[in-house]
Amino acid sequence: MSFELWRSLALAPPRAVEPPAGAARLRVQPEDFEVHEELGFAASGQGEHVLLQVRKRLTNTAWVVRELARAAGVRHFDVGYAGLKDRNAVTVQWFTVPARRRDPASWLGAGGEGYEVIAAMAHTRKLPRGALTGNRFRIVLRDFVGDTAQLARRVAEVAMAGVPNYFGPQRFGCDLGNLRGAFADAEHVERGFELSALRSLLFNAVLAARVARQDWCQLQFGERANLDGSNSSFVVQALDESIATRLAALDIHPTGPLYGRGESGVSGDIAALEAEVIGQFPQAVARLERDRLKASRRPLRVAVRDLELSWLDSGRTPALSFRLRPGSFATTVMRELIDVTAAVGSDDEHD
């Protein structure tokens, strides 16, 4: 199995609809890519932590964590955060710090190069990873060349049907660094990022096969369906009208494997397809089978909520706003609409 196949599944897996509606440049300036985390809960108003809302620009999450730890006089792992966010962007995200040395009021307006605290409230506990209901995006696409009517049609179609939930290039590291190390010596992969990249690659491979079969957004008997916006799933025992209605309404989605120990949870034709696809990656399988990660499932489709297209610069520059569930990638949505060239790269994910 060549590294070129690994590369194509990471950077250019098959689209659900071809051709794209045009081409444009992404991240010409940080303000072209805005991300806002949505927690889904309010601060408790009391407790031993401070919940901070931070706006950052041209700064990665790990650096902000270290800066907040220094300002709070604590260790960096005492700082909680819900997810990683892009450096080359303007992002608004949430953190917690222990309250023992500074009260909430003292944090308002605090900051440093590239970040500022814009809200601070007392809270009961450290913010855990993944404690989000979603991420809200606003993305400006510069130097657009294409069919404006076709773009509008594709936006409407995506709003109705969702997009394939591929892992984006960010998951595989700068210049595919997380995959290169794994491909070169999968027997000795140790880094968590590389293990995650291997699982993501296998998922993308299965999803690509479902896209090729044109059933990536359909449910089959014996597979597991995901409940939208949650990690819950159930086995499809009958393909009845209720299933069809919920599928069309984006209330449930087909799922694909996050490879690991244990049963896949699917049977029949889908189980056979997944086994066939995953069997093409013996290096990745050999390493993952020695790891302690448990097998799980990820939705093959992601709903693109509140999707809106607007035009700037007298109708020459498209701007898109939308919401995604945690763990899904805005770049995956973009490539279903247009060919995108990144003026500046991305180094984080939208957890």
CB of 301 within 8 A of CB of 253? yes
Looking only at the bridges linking them, the beta strands covering 90-98 and 33-38 are parallel
Q: For 17, which DSSP code?
A: S
Tally of CB atoms within 10 A around 25: 17
What is the enclosing helix (H) or strand (E) of 24?
strand 22-26
**Is 101 in contact with 83 (CB distance < 8 Å)?**
no
Of residues 32, 78, 86, 306, which has the active-site annotation?
86
Place of tokens 């889908």: 270
Task: Give the number of other Cβ atoms within 10 Å of residue 335's Cβ.
Answer: 21
Q: Which run of H or E residues covers position 338?
A: none
Helix (H) or strand (E) holding 165: none
Structure tokens at 230: 């949650």
- Is there a contact between 172 and 193 (Cβ–Cβ < 8 Å)? no
| CA within 13 Å, CB half, 110 | 18
Active site residue 86: yes
Residue 317: closest CA among 7, 8, 28? 28
Catalytic sites, residue numbers? 86
